[in-house]
Homo-oligomer: A and B are copies of this chain.
């Protein structure tokens, strides 16, 4: 347990020890986590990784933690937030595209057929966004995302999507960074979508966001250089694609991986199958009251193999219901 020495000055200007108090009585960095095995495990990992001379010490340069986004850092029900964005965009652009009325996946988006769209997974989602925004410059697309995030609201909670990040996970990000970790997001969602939001939502800068992507091209538009989105998938950062994305962007194996679905299985496996201090963590959505309850049978965020194998692989399964004191920050 971290302790902190309170210092006060005596009337004669001499420093004087007043009392030892546990630091978390002052400010617990994981205040939204209930005290219990899950929290203790996280703290023990960080302590082991950062204790100089300890056998599990990890040099600062190798303190890399990777986080899934949908269902891990923010909610993903009743649909990926980015799917809500895509549907809104299809509706906004539909007047210019009468052919969408009869062509999939646009027809499903216009009909609000979330089930069909969700079944197409993150791949289908990227294709939908790709099709609606091919030819846009990266700057134009970023502005569209920014405007959407400001105005769109979640159908169940009637709050901006951007308020539906998990407070315990934002604390975990901060806690790791305060201990010299670099925190990356490794998402099946679109890299250009997420980069617009990640700094403000999570304190994660664009260069530490990895995600699915479309190809882009450098060109001059009216004499000015621009990066232009092309109608071609570049990379799908999901399942076995996640370790590939990590290798491509970071070039090092992380020491901590945090996810919530079987789409994160290989990322967790890759991270935790090397020796030394490792943390594999799965958020289990078992809280129908405060968020949602789903796992093995869900179309979105299916968690099946991960639940079966977490025990033998030493992965920590976090119960949203039991381990989290709060889920979201209060409305602003």
User: Taking the complex as formed, is A156 at the interface, i.e. its CB lies under 8 A from any CB of chain B?
Assistant: no
Q: What distance in Å separates the Cβ of A238 from its nearest Cβ neighbour in chain B?
A: 12
Interface centre among A205, A225, A250, A252 (most CB of B within 10 A): A225
Q: Is the CB of A207 within 8 A of B249?
A: yes
Q: Is the CB of A213 within 8 A of B248?
A: yes
User: Taking the complex as formed, is A12 at the interface, i.e. its CB lies under 8 A from any CB of chain B?
Assistant: no
Q: Is the CB of A206 within 8 A of B243?
A: no
Q: Is the CB of B269 within 8 A of A243?
A: no
| Size of interface on A: residues with Cβ below 8 Å to B | 32
Contact partners of A205 in chain B: CB under 8 A: 61
Contact partners of A248 in chain B: CB under 8 A: 191, 213, 216, 234
User: Taking the complex as formed, is A311 at the interface, i.e. its CB lies under 8 A from any CB of chain B?
Assistant: no
Q: What distance in Å separates the Cβ of A189 from its nearest Cβ neighbour in chain B?
A: 14
Contact partners of A202 in chain B: CB under 8 A: none
Task: Answer whether A216 and B195 are a contact pair too, CB < 8 Å, given A206-B250, A206-B252.
Answer: no
- Copies per complex? 2
Contact partners of A61 in chain B: CB under 8 A: 205
Report the bound CA distance from A213 to B245 in whole Å: 12
Q: What distance in Å separates the Cβ of A198 from its nearest Cβ neighbour in chain B?
A: 10
Task: Answer whether A225 and B138 are a contact pair too, CB < 8 Å, given A195-B251, A207-B249, A251-B209.
Answer: no
Report the bound CA distance from A251 to B270 in whole Å: 25
Q: What distance in Å separates the Cβ of A248 from its nearest Cβ neighbour in chain B?
A: 7
Q: Is the CB of A138 within 8 A of B247?
A: yes
Query: 1/0 per residue A253-283: CB within 8 Å of B?
Result: 0000000000000100110010000000000
Q: What distance in Å separates the Cβ of A208 from its nearest Cβ neighbour in chain B?
A: 8
Contact partners of A195 in chain B: CB under 8 A: 251
User: Taking the complex as formed, is A227 at the interface, i.e. its CB lies under 8 A from any CB of chain B?
Assistant: yes
Q: Is the CB of A216 within 8 A of B273?
A: no
Task: Answer whether A251 and B206 are a contact pair too, CB < 8 Å, given A225-B243, A225-B273, A269-B225.
Answer: yes
10 chain-A/chain-B pairs, Cβ below 8 angstroms: A195-B251, A206-B251, A206-B252, A207-B252, A209-B251, A217-B244, A218-B241, A218-B270, A227-B243, A227-B244
5 A-B pairs with the lowest CB-CB distances in the bound complex, closest first: A206-B251, A218-B240, A218-B243, A207-B250, A227-B247
